[in-house]
Amino acid sequence: MSSLWEDVRHRIEQRVGAQNYEIWIKPIRLLALNGKNAELEVPNRYYLDWVQDNYADVLAEELSEQAGHALQLHFTVEAHADAPDDPHQAIAPPPIASDGISDRGSRNHPGRTRVGVPPDKTFDNYVVGACNQFAHAAALAVADFPGQNYNPLFVFGGTGLGKTHLVQAIGNRIASQNPKAGIVYTTAEDFVNEMIRALRFKKMEEFRARYRGYADVLVIDDIQFLSGKDRSQAEFFHTFEALKNSGRQIILTADVLPREIDKLEPRLRTRFEGGLLADIQAPDLETLIAILHRKGDSLGLEVPDDLATWISQRVRGNIRELEGALNRLAALHRFYNEPLSIEFARRHLSNLLDDEPQALTPERIMREVARFYSIKVSDIKGSRRLKAVVRPRQIAMYLSRRHTGLSFPDLGRAFGGRDHSTVQHACKQIQKLTAKDPDLRQHVETLEQNLGV
């Protein structure tokens, strides 16, 4: 029977092409031939629907020809794999009925469980602080219970804050716990470009198979890139629905909340907001120092504490900038064979980092507050009354008054030409709230640390 099935699969590959064969035909198992019946096993129910709709005829034709008589096909779905051991309980959702992702066979895609996911991005080397604690716990819960309650997971925050590392760590953890899972990571820009090529060369079936057939876990970075791209949004909507409805996990990142992505279709926005929204804020000084030491360890560098503090104070909360500075310092340290010190860093990082922390101005404070809350400086200066903007605007006014010494009228002009009474009210409001709201007080203290005051 195995020889017959190999012949059938080879003939079907010639008819449907190598890529369709790899995705849709190769994972199918021939379980039994009994008289006029052929029993076939497929990985999951979504797979079953697709194969029955698109490949049942060719399967029946080729099997019947090789068997020498007409055969009736009967499909079964592979039994679910065991759940992972030792699930993380930080945000553990209760088990719910779901197709899940554990029912795909590792034989389906040998060596291709993680498409586009660097194996070095793990939870073990992800530094957790107050800025990312909730997002980290949410990511662990999704990694241990994919396709269940937190679907989609939408991680948002400013550039260079560690969103990509976190979502790639989810993919690696799922793959390590369940080698049968197909993990696909890509950026929204690459998704759009792939779709354009598929349209151009009439390969949309293969494009859809990659994202709707192969992926048990789909990670899309920088989803805001879909803004204003109607055709791409429509295609992604159908991909989203296919994955979600079959119990597979979707993970998205963006620099803003779904409602703040310009020209995003309402049906996508509501689906993004229907999952779990987890924000990552700019890290405080202690977290930056911890990240720098962790990165130094990975490079085989022992970074002195005073140097770690000196660098961290000058990267303005940006983890990517921090890592870039340390990579350059490591290379120069080995080239010159000089000990690591602040003086060494001052000589060789002057083009990357400010020699001294920047002077405090309302503009600098607004930039830091905007980065911390993942909004735009234009929002702070503008007239929008969204809660997500009003509170950061008031905090920026409060910090500017407290640390620049400018008058209320001068600050009003700096904040978009506002009346001095508006700034006064904001300062009183934040002063009152920080006295009774520990979370807000922590935000203000973190911002002050990031600003070096």
For 201-226, the pLDDT digits (tens) are: 988 988 998 898 888 999 999 999 99
Cis ω for the linkage preceding 362 (within 30 of 0): no
Range name among 125-129, 184-188, 198-202, 354-358 with the lowest pLDDT average: 354-358
- Does position 367 have pLDDT exceeding 50, yes or no? yes
Dihedrals φ, ψ of 88, to 5°? -75, 135
Q: Do the strands 72-77 and 114-115 form a parallel or antiparallel pair, or are they unpaired?
A: unpaired
From 1.10.1750.10, 3.40.50.300, 3.30.540.10, 3.40.50.1100, which CATH number describes the 362-451 domain?
Answer: 1.10.1750.10
270 pLDDT band, cuts 50/70/90, is: very high
User: Architecture of 106-280 per CATH?
Assistant: 3-Layer(aba) Sandwich (3.40)
Range name among 285-294, 400-409, 442-451 with the lowest pLDDT average: 442-451
Cβ-based burial of 98 (10 A; exposed 0-12, middle 13-18, buried ≥19) = middle
Give the DSSP per-residue string, 241-263. Answer: HHHHHTT-EEEEEESS-GGGSTT
Distance of CA 11 to the CA centre of its chain: 40
Q: Residues 232-268: pLDDT tens digits?
A: 999 999 999 999 998 999 999 998 889 889 899 999 9
- Does position 313 have pLDDT exceeding 60, yes or no? yes
Give the DSSP per-residue string, 109-129. Answer: STT-SEES--TT--STTPPP-
Q: Residues 406-450: pLDDT tens digits?
A: 999 999 999 999 999 999 999 999 999 998 988 899 889 888 877
From 3.30.300.180, 1.20.120.1200, 2.40.160.40, 3.40.50.2000, which CATH number describes the 2-77 domain?
Answer: 3.30.300.180
Q: How many CB atoms lie within 10 A of CB 276?
A: 20
Domain boundaries, the chain: 2-77, 106-280, 285-348, 362-451
Q: Residues 30-61: pLDDT tens digits?
A: 999 988 999 999 877 767 877 888 889 999 99
Cβ-based burial of 58 (10 A; exposed 0-12, middle 13-18, buried ≥19) = middle
Q: Check if the beta carbon of residue 55 is closer than 8 Å to that of residue 25.
A: yes
Strands laid side by side in the 37-42 sheet: 29-34, 37-42, 72-77
Separation in Å, CA 291 to CA 127, 158, 285? 6, 17, 10
As beta bridge partners, residue 33 has 38
As beta bridge partners, residue 253 has 155
Angle at which helix 230-245 crosses helix 188-200, to 10 degrees, equals 100
